[in-house]
Chain A
């Protein structure tokens, strides 16, 4: 099957305008007859559900949390980018576009990235209108800060809680649509499968996590905004409920999965403290603006950081990357931290950590300024580690954080399955092989507020609400039965091992073989191990037999079962991509000074995988990447 990215013709900067003009419009009187399902209520999902509701569509919105306001977008700390150029420091739409595509190491679709930069300014306007209390200067105008990987100051922020504030803005808009009856909200509901018949997504199967009932919901289009899959690594910065189930089930029903191996490891997280660890906590990388990263020059240096004199400290990012210093992109910073720890120079328990030191900034700016900028982050660090970062350098270590890969979508954010649209982190579209800081919030809101509502008409025009399948259609009931059987099987699992122990084993396997750096041998070994681990899981897992109603052990068991299937695809993709690019670092391909060595001639494409059955090699489809405007260059942050 040929992939059609459906990119409008014409020059880059005219494509989005052209697409909006070409898009079929749905007559306002007809909009209310169309029903759209939105799964997920984070930035992308809530913004889409609210905006589609405003347009007059009937919207059903589902989330697994107890309220739409709790989706994991809420945990984003640092900020959101936009090309406002309020600082007069040389920013522009083109520069934001170029930085994003370069940061993604030329593995994203140029037209999508340009559109993202183009829309970025309208997002800030919209958020302010909805009451997002962005930081302001004393003049009353909006403040900006610079953020990892950027040399201009274009990041808007609300203390260290930007994601929370943006989400509460979108949640407000969504709440209004619920109030007027345009959106029906289904909290504590988990999508377990997608119904695809006659070449189109028709609806979803959902389990009510409180009562345990499984129901089918039919619609004219299905939108997945279900976030990323970093939890495949078990320990990540994601909320513990984040999962791959919705997009994996859609993949099994025919949606192609693009670039699954592009997983971002965030450099500034609090290191693991013990086996009990349930998640890793991110410390916003905005901290890198004022913190200096270092390790002792000597390996296994047991001294307290205060006792290590300046000459015996290695500020390894400043040393290796004099131009960008501590602000190099996330993948570069993460690998550099791993490298010094591999040399035995790591700090803290287990030697897996590097210092992030604010002493110099506190001396220069005063403690009050640092407190204003990062107060809540410092408190959080103190709370978790029991150490005061005003007095002692923080310890940080990389952790899985964001997944650039996701379901393949065309320019209109529709998957290869007509009627199935994918937004936000759940799609693959804008970040290539590495996402820049403060770009995830921008993408989620661009997709939800502005892109999908503008183009969904093209897809809906192909169908009539009269032809919508009834939810008791056999096609729905068959899929529901399958999902029910899976649940019943898990409920009767009386093995000897907990779901968590399997998840931990899978996570460790992937972290070691397919984490910050990868090689053929390790990947081959992982491919061998995953199927047997999966087989052990179904044979030996133990799930609480308390029944289907509010059974959290059962919820987790279903999610881990899907991670165990998905993990294999992730490793296949990492193996097939025999180059280094962005976050995907293959040890076989590095420059003499240890940087990622891209191979544009052989791998200048998006890998879109087709499901071929469990235990079978997935089928690779390639979408070639062409660059009209931003010409691929070797990334250099020296």
Chain B
């Protein structure tokens, strides 16, 4: 099949960027979008041109390393799909597609389609954990957790941290990402002791970084490749409000 790609090319964070058109003449419908870029890169290299930089690793939709905008949609037009699992059979022959990096102040561009998502790690470091020292755990079945609650926690825990939610949000908010982790851990009994501090710390960190605020557009849920529900944002808001009323934030301590 034939496609025309208009790909954002930018040598580095401070270099000027522009869209460059690349015709693809002989793609197979069984190729993933990234495999098509691999083939394009092979050709660019052959002609002495610079290949398109883009991140990817597992190529089975779970590591969260890949992601960009296709025609303005984070992770492309297929629902519940990362670009590594987006196969060309979903596109019409002869289509023109605009391929751009995630655009958000909190996700600075590195090169072409690759962006820096360090801010996500920083939100996690602020409180996205349960402080269970290795060796201190009680017998695993000593705390029964109802199947419904556990399944709900798993729904939130499925987040792959790809940042499509931030890229899709008109405010560049990381609420869905933060809400997923806060909800996952606060739903489970093991996560209760640190529940209030976790919500305070993670929300505070998110606000400190260059993310915007949530104003309930719901774009994040629409693009999320793992189908994380914005119900978790409501849960985060409840957790955060309760925490702000009853507690004040403290720093994470060594023990």
Contacts and interface: CB of A to CB of B under 8 A. Distances in A.
B63 A65 contact: yes
Interface centre among A74, A277, A549 (most CB of B within 10 A): A74
B253 A239 contact: no
Nearest to B205: A179
Contact of A173 (B46, B114, B129, B252): B129
A281 B60 contact: yes
A129 B190 contact: yes
A360 B39 CA distance: 41
Interface in B41-97: 41-42, 45-46, 50-51, 53, 55-65, 80-81, 85, 87, 89
Contacts of A552: 51, 53
Contacts of B57: 65, 70, 72, 239-241
B30 A239 contact: no
B255 to A, nearest CB: 9
B184 A125 contact: no
Given A182-B254, A276-B28, A54 B134 contact: yes
A179 B120 CA distance: 13
Interface in A75-125: 75, 84, 86, 121-122, 124-125
A122 B136 CA distance: 10
B64 A69 contact: yes
Nearest to B37: A278
B128 A159 contact: no
Given A125-B139, A239-B63, A172 B58 contact: no
A90 B94 CA distance: 61
A377 to B, nearest CB: 11
B184 A131 contact: yes
Contacts of A65: 57, 63, 65
B237 interface: no
A67 B61 contact: no
Interface centre among A122, A173, A279, A282 (most CB of B within 10 A): A279
A180 B252 contact: yes
Given A274-B30, A542-B45, A176 B125 contact: yes
B58 A75 contact: yes
A140 B147 contact: yes
B137 A67 contact: no
A66 B30 contact: no
Interface centre among B36, B50, B89, B191 (most CB of A within 10 A): B50
Contacts of A130: 129-130, 132, 137, 190
A75 B150 contact: no
Contacts of B60: 75, 279, 281-282, 380
Interface residues of B, number: 80
A239 B124 contact: no
B208 interface: no
B185 interface: yes
Interface in A240-263: 240-241
Contact of A553 (B45, B114, B124, B130): B45
A158 interface: yes
B147 A70 contact: no
Given A136-B145, A239-B63, A128 B32 contact: no
B62 A164 contact: yes
Contacts of A281: 59-60
Contacts of B154: 133, 158-159, 165
B49 to A, nearest CB: 9
A449 interface: yes
Interface in B125-165: 125-126, 128-141, 143-147, 150-151, 153-154, 157-158, 160-161
A54 B133 contact: yes
Given A131-B190, A172-B130, A278 B38 contact: yes
A176 B28 contact: no
A129 B117 contact: no
B140 A66 contact: no
Nearest to A497: B46
A553 B138 CA distance: 48
Contact of B132 (A126, A168, A179, A386): A126
A91 B181 CA distance: 35
- Interface residue tally of chain A, by bracket? 35 or more
Nearest to A68: B121
Given A129-B136, A129-B190, A500-B42, A172 B128 contact: yes
Contacts of A47: 134
Interface in A500-558: 500, 542, 544, 546, 549-550, 552-553
Contact of A276 (B39, B110, B141): B39
Contacts of A125: 137-140
B68 to A, nearest CB: 14
A137 B53 CA distance: 45
A69 B128 CA distance: 12
B132 A173 contact: yes
A180 B255 CA distance: 9
A27 interface: no
Interface centre among B39, B134, B138 (most CB of A within 10 A): B134
A618 interface: no
A151 B176 CA distance: 42
B188 interface: yes
Contacts of A542: 45-46
A297 interface: no
A6 B45 CA distance: 51
A140 B134 CA distance: 24
Nearest to B134: A51
Contacts of A383: 61, 81, 85, 87
B125 to A, nearest CB: 4
Interface centre among B36, B135, B140 (most CB of A within 10 A): B140
Contacts of B174: none
A161 B62 contact: yes
Nearest to B157: A133
B85 A380 contact: yes
B34 interface: yes
Contacts of A70: 57-58, 63-65, 161
B134 A450 contact: yes
Given A67-B120, A383-B81, A500 B51 contact: no
Given A67-B161, A550-B114, 4 more contacts: A75-B58, A84-B141, A172-B124, A175-B129
Interface of A: 47, 50-51, 54, 65-70, 72, 74-75, 84, 86, 121-122, 124-131, 133-142, 158-159, 161, 164-165, 168, 171-173, 175-176, 178-180, 182, 185, 187, 210, 239-241, 273-274, 276-279, 281-282, 379-380, 383-384, 386, 449-450, 453, 498, 500, 542, 544, 546, 549-550, 552-553
Q: Which 8 A-B pairs have the closest CB atoms?
A: A140-B144, A172-B129, A129-B137, A129-B132, A125-B137, A133-B154, A51-B134, A239-B57
